[in-house]
């Protein structure tokens, strides 16, 4: 469970009856536009023909069990279930006790003493990001009503770079357009190059990773806390809940270590009564508290673990050395589908911090 001012519980297994989310402590009376919500979920869903995407297609339509009445939040826990309809567990028969390198089969088996549902990755499956996206889509609508907007795109795939966001003077129109693209990049030519990389990986029965860039605009200065309950902490804890995340950088991130103070410090100035900075190396957060500049972070995703090339592994039931060839259906790159997941994570963390602030 993600247990902050907002509480989020995600349940289900990839090949069980369904998956879902319980979202607690939302403000009451918030209108939720279902059409907009479904459009958000559709951005994460596997799509036939989309570069690198798994052939598993599913409607991903959430059924709301509680917390919403006449299109508005009631203040009671918002619970949604998404039924699993397209499961072919037979594909996974040959890997039932062969640990997929890079996946959670071995660690999950040890942790749950062999009782966990391994079909399709069980509770470790990327499919569990659908309820996360549901929760983030709801939070996003509440934030947008307060002038807060989350922008996301693919920054790179296997080293091919998109144009980064301008995090000082954000172009919100371009940010809105990128969300409507089936391959969400700012520079379509670079997007085509990325898709070539993904296709090359697929043909080689291999996979590639990449980076998603996220920027949240309109968050007022003064939201957050120092040390353990800051804005960075909450974003980090939910972002690391996304499967396959390997790194997170706020603002200039690791590159800050190579700069001098005068290069890295963002000079303040006042304009129309508002305090701003000329650059945004700090990623909109200082001391765990928002500065009023766009919150900015990047998330690194590893290459998809399930690849069809032969790999060394063990049979975790009898500890024998084995060779593994994965059949199944897998994304050769999960990054395009992870873009709305990162947006959802940001929405949940930022709304939670905002509600905490207003409560205080």
In the complex, which residues of this chain contact ligand FMN (CB under 6 A)? 54, 103-104, 121, 124-126, 129, 242-244, 302, 304-306, 330-331, 334, 337-338, 341
- State yes or no: 304 annotated in a binding site: yes
Cβ closest to ligand FMN, residue 26 vs residue 194:
194
- State yes or no: 305 annotated in a binding site: yes
- State yes or no: 258 annotated in a binding site: no
Structure tokens, 148: 């807060």
Cβ closest to ligand FMN, residue 79 vs residue 335:
335
53-83 burial, b at 16+ Cβ within 10 Å, e below that, comes to bbebeeebebebeebbeeeebeeebbbbbbb
Helix, strand, or coil (residue 201): helix
Cβ closest to ligand FMN, residue 293 vs residue 334:
334
> What share of residues in the chain are helix, strand, coil (percent, to 5)?
35, 25, 40
- State yes or no: 302 annotated in a binding site: yes
The answer to whether 129 and 243 have CB atoms below 8 angstroms apart is: yes
- State yes or no: 329 annotated in a binding site: yes
- State yes or no: 123 annotated in a binding site: yes
Distance CA 260, CA 324 (A): 48
Min CB(144)–ligand FMN separation in Å = 23
Cβ closest to ligand FMN, residue 26 vs residue 335:
335
- State yes or no: 182 annotated in a binding site: no
The answer to whether 149 and 143 have CB atoms below 8 angstroms apart is: yes
Min CB(254)–ligand FMN separation in Å = 20
The answer to whether 282 and 291 have CB atoms below 8 angstroms apart is: yes
The residue of the chain with the least Cβ separation from ligand FMN equals 126
Min CB(302)–ligand FMN separation in Å = 6
309-327 burial, b at 16+ Cβ within 10 Å, e below that, comes to eebebbebeeeeeeebebe
Sequence-ordered list of residues with C-beta below 8 angstroms from that of 334, at least 6 positions apart, any chain: 52, 126, 244, 301, 304
Cβ closest to ligand FMN, residue 244 vs residue 285:
244
Cβ closest to ligand FMN, residue 54 vs residue 87:
54
Min CB(262)–ligand FMN separation in Å = 38
Min CB(307)–ligand FMN separation in Å = 8
The answer to whether 119 and 46 have CB atoms below 8 angstroms apart is: no
Phi/psi for 136 (5° steps) reads -70, -30
Min CB(43)–ligand FMN separation in Å = 11
Distance CA 22, CA 218 (A): 27
Binding-site residues, in ranges, read: 44, 123-125, 287, 302-306, 329
Annotated binding site for NADP(+): 44
Binding residues for FMN: 123-125, 287, 302-306, 329
């Amino acid at each position: 469970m993600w247990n902050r001012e907002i509480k989020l519980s995600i349940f289900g297994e990839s090949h069980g009856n369904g998956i879902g989310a319980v979202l607690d402590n939302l403000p009451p009376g918030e209108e939720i536009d279902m059409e907009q919500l479904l459009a958000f979920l559709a951005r994460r869903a596997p799509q036939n023909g989309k570069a690198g995407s798994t052939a598993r297609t599913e409607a991903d339509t959430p059924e709301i069990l509680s917390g919403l009445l006449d299109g508005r939040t009631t203040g009671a826990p918002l619970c949604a279930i998404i039924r699993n309809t397209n499961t072919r567990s037979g594909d996974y028969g040959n890997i039932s006790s062969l640990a997929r390198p890079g996946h959670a089969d071995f660690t999950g088996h040890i942790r749950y003493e062999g009782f966990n549902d391994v079909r399709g990755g069980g509770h470790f499956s990327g499919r569990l990001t659908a309820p996360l996206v549901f929760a983030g889509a709801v939070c996003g609508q509440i934030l947008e009503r307060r002038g807060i907007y989350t922008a996301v795109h693919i920054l790179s795939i296997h080293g091919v770079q998109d144009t980064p966001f301008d995090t000082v003077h954000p172009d919100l129109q371009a940010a809105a357009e990128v969300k409507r693209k089936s391959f969400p990049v700012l520079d379509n030519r670079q997007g085509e190059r990325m898709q070539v990389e993904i296709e090359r990986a697929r043909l080689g029965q291999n996979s590639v990773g990449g980076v998603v860039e996220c920027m949240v605009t309109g968050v007022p200065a003064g939201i957050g806390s120092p040390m353990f309950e800051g804005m960075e902490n909450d974003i980090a804890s939910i972002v690391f809940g996304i499967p396959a995340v390997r790194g997170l950088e706020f603002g200039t991130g690791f590159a800050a270590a190579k700069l001098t103070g005068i290069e890295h410090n963002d000079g303040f100035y006042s304009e129309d009564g508002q305090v701003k900075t000329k650059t945004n190396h700090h990623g909109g957060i200082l001391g765990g508290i928002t500065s009023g500049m766009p919150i900015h972070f990047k998330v690194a995703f590893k290459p998809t673990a399930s690849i069809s090339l032969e790999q060394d592994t063990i049979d975790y039931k009898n500890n024998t050395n084995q060779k593994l060839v994965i059949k199944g259906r897998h994304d050769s790159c999960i990054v395009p589908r992870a873009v709305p997941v990162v947006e959802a994570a940001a929405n949940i963390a930022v709304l939670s911090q905002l509600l905490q602030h207003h409560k205080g």
